[in-house]
């Protein structure tokens, strides 16, 4: 797996997917449909190339339902990617306006920023005004898959949640599919029989879509309309190849509610809906918790894989403690790293603004970077092919005091340079064998390299047969340090000449 390009590297333009549009009009155009018939699509080839996988493996994973490729045939500017256990752990960044703040340019800017820092997919969760225009602008500007929650728009179009109709919901799903949405969160797994469990919770339902759906179900005293009309939903999605992201309406909203009967009851239904999706050749992933103590995360990942037949798991965090508002990108990235290690395929980011307000651009940057760290740490822990090459390259750059390379390899190169230059901004310090953390006298990298050089020289002298009594360790060490400094000077001059 190649070391990822630095986030500031220019984005390679994506060739428009006109080949995909040609499939339009067929009753089923999903990647799963083709994979099950032995066809390796252009999207599968691109995924194989990006992931350094065999295209045949990509095809078989998609056919099995263990990997999804969110690629609506109408999303022209998409660069196909994959979510699944055989591929790199992915991250999603959410944004979108609310009724309180609304700005189309700002949302597109958030999308660009999220992609720049490495978001693999983005969800437009707008609930304020101009949802249609924002969504279209976001899809048109995006090379990564775009996800939505169609129920938000369906609710916007009626006075009260309870006025929602099945026809209205299905119309919205199709409308968004026609706009090019690549995956949709559908809260179809919460059933009437789980309602008594909710009352026992500390924090009830914390999923926006789930709470709205529950309100409708209680008012009409009817079963979840998405559940009862699931075949119709699938019939729409398979025409455009929209991936279902099965929403976890009953995800725990606090540690006290984690792994309870409401969460696991709904999970059983999500497993049932997964199989139904596959009967329609519709690609599906399953959304997961929420707020979970660290010691329960591995069990949650294993349970999902078992109950939902190994469909890719797409987790929100999970947050590992409830007491750090303002820092929930950290509380949740801890959980996300553990979840990724134990099998989650995609991690939905949480920003420092979580529980407090709508994320701004700096929140998006911090959230994306926190999750890139979590996903990469999970890939390293899972021993993915080549995952650690990036870390090893950084270690080499550190050991050789190659500051420019360290910045280039950093997950956030601009921030790394900014931090270094805040104290040692002069160009001369870009070749220094120390930074301001320990200073020249205490730099352990430098001191350790001097020790190694002294030891090597001492051993060479011994090998020459010099009697021990004649060896002068202090002089040998001083000479070795001098020689190492001279060698470094020559190497730096050569590097400078090469760069010039």
> Site residues (CB under 6 A) for ligand SF4?
434-435, 437-438, 443-445
Q: How far is CA 385 from the centre of its chain?
A: 18
Shortest CB 432 distance to ligand SF4, Å: 9
Q: In whole angstroms, what is the distance from residue 123 CA to residue 140 CA?
A: 14
Bridge partners, residue 185, by sequence = 245
Shortest CB 421 distance to ligand SF4, Å: 14
Is residue 261 helix, strand or coil?
helix
Shortest CB 398 distance to ligand SF4, Å: 7
Q: In whole angstroms, what is the distance from residue 105 CA to residue 406 CA?
A: 33
Query: Residue 418 contacts by C-beta under 8 Å, 6 or more apart in sequence?
Result: none
Shortest CB 484 distance to ligand SF4, Å: 15
Query: Residue 327 contacts by C-beta under 8 Å, 6 or more apart in sequence?
Result: 352
Cβ-based nearer residue to ligand SF4, 437 or 471:
437
Q: In whole angstroms, what is the distance from residue 134 CA to residue 97 CA?
A: 9
Q: In whole angstroms, what is the distance from residue 470 CA to residue 337 CA?
A: 56
Shortest CB 415 distance to ligand SF4, Å: 16
Cβ-based nearer residue to ligand SF4, 381 or 432:
432
Cβ-based nearer residue to ligand SF4, 424 or 477:
424
Shortest CB 399 distance to ligand SF4, Å: 9
Q: How far is CA 352 from the centre of its chain?
A: 16
Shortest CB 376 distance to ligand SF4, Å: 21
Shortest CB 434 distance to ligand SF4, Å: 4
Q: What is the dihedral of CA 389, 391, 396, 402, to 10 degrees?
A: 120
Q: In whole angstroms, what is the distance from residue 186 CA to residue 328 CA?
A: 25
Shortest CB 437 distance to ligand SF4, Å: 3
Residue closest to 240 by CA, chosen among 25, 497, 459: 25
Q: In whole angstroms, what is the distance from residue 214 CA to residue 192 CA?
A: 8
Residue closest to 173 by CA, chosen among 276, 249, 242, 272: 242
Cβ-based nearer residue to ligand SF4, 173 or 443:
443
Q: In whole angstroms, what is the distance from residue 289 CA to residue 263 CA?
A: 8
Cβ-based nearer residue to ligand SF4, 298 or 433:
433
Cβ-based nearer residue to ligand SF4, 264 or 445:
445
Cβ-based nearer residue to ligand SF4, 181 or 443:
443
Query: Residue 108 contacts by C-beta under 8 Å, 6 or more apart in sequence?
Result: 134, 137, 138, 141
Cβ-based nearer residue to ligand SF4, 197 or 445:
445
Cβ-based nearer residue to ligand SF4, 32 or 443:
443
Token output for 479: 């000479």
Q: How far is CA 305 from the centre of its chain?
A: 19
Token output for 118: 């490495």
């Amino acid at each position: 797996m190649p070391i990822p390009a630095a986030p500031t590297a220019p984005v390679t333009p994506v060739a428009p997917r006109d080949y995909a549009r040609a499939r339009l009009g067929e009753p089923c155009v999903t990647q799963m449909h083709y994979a099950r018939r032995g066809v390796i699509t252009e999207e599968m080839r691109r995924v194989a190339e990006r992931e350094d996988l065999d295209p045949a493996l990509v095809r078989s994973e998609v056919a099995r339902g263990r990997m999804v490729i969110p690629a609506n045939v109408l999303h022209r500017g998409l660069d196909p990617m994959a979510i699944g256990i055989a591929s790199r752990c992915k991250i999603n960044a959410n944004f979108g306006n609310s009724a309180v703040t609304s700005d189309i340019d700002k949302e597109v800017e958030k999308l660009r920023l999220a992609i720049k820092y490495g978001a693999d997919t983005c969800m437009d969760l707008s609930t304020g005004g101009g949802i249609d225009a924002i969504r279209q602008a976001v899809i048109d500007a995006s090379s990564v898959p775009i996800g939505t929650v169609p129920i938000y728009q369906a609710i916007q179009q009626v006075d009260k949640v309870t006025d929602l109709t099945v026809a209205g919901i299905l119309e919205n799903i199709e409308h968004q599919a026609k706009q090019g949405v690549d995956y949709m969160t559908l809260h179809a797994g919460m059933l009437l029989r789980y309602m008594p469990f909710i009352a026992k919770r500390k924090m009830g339902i914390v999923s926006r879509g789930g709470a709205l759906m529950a309100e409708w179900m209680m008012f009409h005293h009817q079963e979840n309309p998405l559940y009862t009309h699931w075949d119709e939903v699938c019939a729409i999605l398979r025409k455009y190849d929209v991936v279902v992201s099965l929403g976890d309406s009953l995800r725990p909203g606090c540690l006290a509610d984690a792994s309870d009967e409401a969460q696991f009851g709904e999970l059983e239904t999500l497993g049932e809906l997964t199989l139904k999706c596959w009967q329609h050749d519709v690609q599906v992933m399953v959304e997961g918790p929420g707020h979970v103590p660290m010691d329960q995360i591995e069990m949650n990942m294993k349970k999902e894989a078992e109950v939902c037949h190994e469909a890719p798991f797409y987790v929100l965090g999970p947050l590992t403690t409830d007491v750090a508002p303002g820092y929930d990108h950290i509380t949740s990235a801890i959980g996300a790293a553990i979840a990724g290690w134990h099998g989650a395929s995609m991690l939905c980011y949480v920003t420092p603004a979580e529980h407090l307000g709508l994320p701004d651009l700096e929140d998006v940057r911090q959230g994306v970077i926190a999750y890139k760290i979590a996903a990469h740490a999970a890939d390293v822990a899972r021993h993915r092919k080549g995952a650690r090459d990036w870390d090893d390259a950084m270690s080499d750059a550190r050991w050789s005091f190659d500051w420019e390379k360290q910045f280039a390899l950093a997950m956030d190169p601009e921030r790394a340079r900014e931090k270094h230059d805040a104290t040692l901004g002069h160009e001369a310090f870009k070749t220094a064998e120390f930074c301001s953390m320990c200073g020249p006298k205490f730099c352990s990298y430098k001191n350790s390299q001097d020790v190694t050089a002294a030891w090597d020289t001492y051993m060479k002298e011994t090998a020459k047969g010099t009697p021990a009594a004649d060896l002068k360790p202090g002089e040998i060490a001083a000479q070795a340090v001098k020689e190492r400094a001279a060698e470094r000077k020559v190497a730096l001059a050569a590097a400078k000449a090469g760069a010039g």
